[in-house]
Structure 1
Amino acid sequence: MFPSCAGSGRGVAALGFGAAPIGNLYHEVDEAAAIATVRTAFDAGIRYFDTAPHYGFGLSEQRLGRAIQSLPRESFELSTKVGRRLQPVSRGEYVRHGFAGAADFEPVFDYSYDGVMRSFESSLQRLQTDYIDTLLIHDLGRQTHGDAHPHYLQDFLQGGYRAMEALKNQRLIRAIGLGANEWQIGETLLAAVDLDCILLAGRYTLLEQQPCDHFMSLCQQRRVSLIAAAPFNSGILASGTGGEGPWYYNYQPAPPSVIDRVKQLEVICYEFGVPLAAAALQFPVAHPVVSHVLAGFSNNEELLSAVALMNFAIPVAFWEALHQQQLIHPDAPVPSASIKRVAEK
C-alpha cells in the first residue's frame, strides 16, 4: 500500500497503468480493446491502476471497473480522484477537454466536503468496487487555477480534506493523496495536512528533476511516497527528436530549450545503445521515495512495449555518463545494474 515510503517495491510492481487513454483521450478506443489492455497489464504483472472521473467523464472508470471484475480485488491497487463533479450537459463538441466522443457531462471543480463525497460515491458505482486503495485530490494548485487557487485551496482544507479523512476512518479508502502537475502544491499541502502519497505528473522525469532541490527530501521526511506519472513529459521522451516533429512537451509543442536538452540525452543513449524511452521509464523508480512510475496505455501494443522497455538492461556507465554531462540532477539517484526488471510474460 502507498502509505509507506517503501511503496510497492520495484520491477513489475513499479510500473503502473494510467487509465486516461481508455477514457478516449484524444481518440476513441474500442471498448473490448480497452478492457483487454487492462487484463493484459494484469497478466504481465502490473498491480497498480489509476483513473479519475475526469477521464472521459466517467468512461475510464466504467471500463476499468468492467475489466477488474474478474480479478481478485486484493491482488491489485486502485486509485481514483476527487475534486471535480460531473454535471450533465447537452451534447457538445466531439472532443472536449481532450476526450473524444465524451459522455454528456461537463467536469466542474468542486473541492467541498459534499462535492468530494458525491464524487467518491459515483466512482465506487462506476468502478464496481466497495473501496478504493488510494483517493487523490485532483489538480489543486496555482498552475491549474490561477487567481482562483486560494479559493479552491480553502475549500479543500476546510471541506474536501475532512471528507477524505472520514472515508479513511470508515475504511472506504486506505490512503489519502494528491494528484497534480506541480510539486509546489505538494509542499503547500504538506505544511497543512497529512498525506500518504503524491501523484506528480511530468515533474520528476529524465528531463527534469527540480523536486530534488527540496521536495523529494520533504516527502522522505514525512514518509510520503511519490507516484511519478507522465514519465515521457507527454511525448518527447517517448518519441525523441527524430523526424520532422512537432515533438510534444507538457501537451504542447516543445520549446527549443527542451528539444536541445533531449538531443543531448539522445547522444548518450546512442553511445550506449539505450532506447530513450527505456531510460525515461526506469529513471524515476531509482529514487527511494518513488513507489511507481505511471504511464498511460490504450492498447496491448503500447502496454507490452512499456513492459519490454522496463525490462531493458541499462548499464551503470550510462547513468554515470548522464551525471558527468550534468544531464540529471546531482542528487538524483540512478538505477543500479541489478535493478529489478519487469519480467516478460
Structure 2
Amino acid sequence: MKNLYFLASIAFIALLTSCGDDKSKQESKEQPKEVFVPQFNSDSAYAYVKKQVEFGPRVPNSKNHTETGNYLIEKLKSFNWEVQEQNFEATTFDNQLLYLRNIIASYNPKKSKRILLAAHWDTRPFADKDNDRIEEPILGANDGASGVSVLLEIARVINTYDSLDLGVDIIFFDGEDWGERPNEYIQPTNGLESWWCLGSQYWSKNKHEPKYSAYYGILLDMVGGENAKFYKEGYSMESAPSIVNKVWNRGAELGYSRYFINQPGGQITDDHYFVNKYGKIPMIDIIPMDPTDGSFGAFHHTHDDNMDIISKQTLKAVGETVLHVLYNE
C-alpha cells in the first residue's frame, strides 16, 4: 500500500513538473528575449556629414576626393575595423578616365554569417538639375555624405560596445554619381551596363574576396533629408522582399513609420541593383524616391544639396532602424 502511495505521489509531482515546463515554454514563446541595442548618436552622424562637406565636392580625380577617401579610411581604422582599398579605373559617358577606389571595412571578419551595408561616397561633377552654375560640382550633403555618415556612426557604435555576434561589412562605393545627363542617353561601353554606379558594378564582378557572400545587404542613399519618405523600392522588393519588410517593420516598431512608408515605390538603378544581379547578394535600397513622379526632392543634383537640408531626425530614424535590424539578427 505504501508503495502505491509512493508511486502516486511521484506521478503527481511529475505531472506538476511537466505542467510547469509547458507553462515556462509557453511564456518563453510569448516573451521573446530582450536584446540590448546601443544608442545611435544623431549628433555624431551629423558631424560626419559636415566633415565630408567641408572637404568640398568629392568628385573623382580631384584633391577633395582623395583627401576624403583618406579620411574615411583612417576613421574606420580608428574604430578597429579591418579596412581594404579596391582601386580600379573606369571611363565615363563623356570619355573621362577616372581613378576610383571602393573602401571596404569589416567587423568580425571570421564570422561566417555576414550583413553587408553600403553607400556611395563620391559626388556629382555637375549640377545638371540647377538653373545656375550648372557646370560646377555639387557638395552632396545628402546625395553621398548622409549615407556614409550613418554607416560611420554605426561602425563607431558597434566598435564601442563590441557585442554584436555576427560579421558586418561596410562598402563605400566610388563613382556612383558620374552618370549621363538627363535626356542624353549614351550606350555604355567597356563592359558597363550603366554609366552610373561604377564602383558597385566593378565590385560585384571583382569582389574583394573571391568567395565573399552575405546573408543580405542594405544600401543607404540620400538618407539625411528633412522629412524624407522612404517607400519600398521596386528592385528591392523583387530581390529581397523579406528584408525590405524586416527593415520597414522594425522602423515602424521604433516609431519611424512617417519615414518608412509601407507602400510600394518605383524602381531605381542604384548600387543595390548590381550587387543583386552580379554579386548574387539580396540587397535592398533605402532611398527617398517619390513613386508618383520618380523624383528625389528639389535638392537633387543642385547646389541646394548642402547642410541646410540635412536633418538629425532623419539620420537617427535610418541609423537606429538599421542598428536594431543588426542586433536582432
Q: Give the structure-1-normalised TM-score.
A: 0.28
Q: Which has the larger radius of gyration?
A: 2
So what's the TM-score if we normalise by structure 2? Answer: 0.29
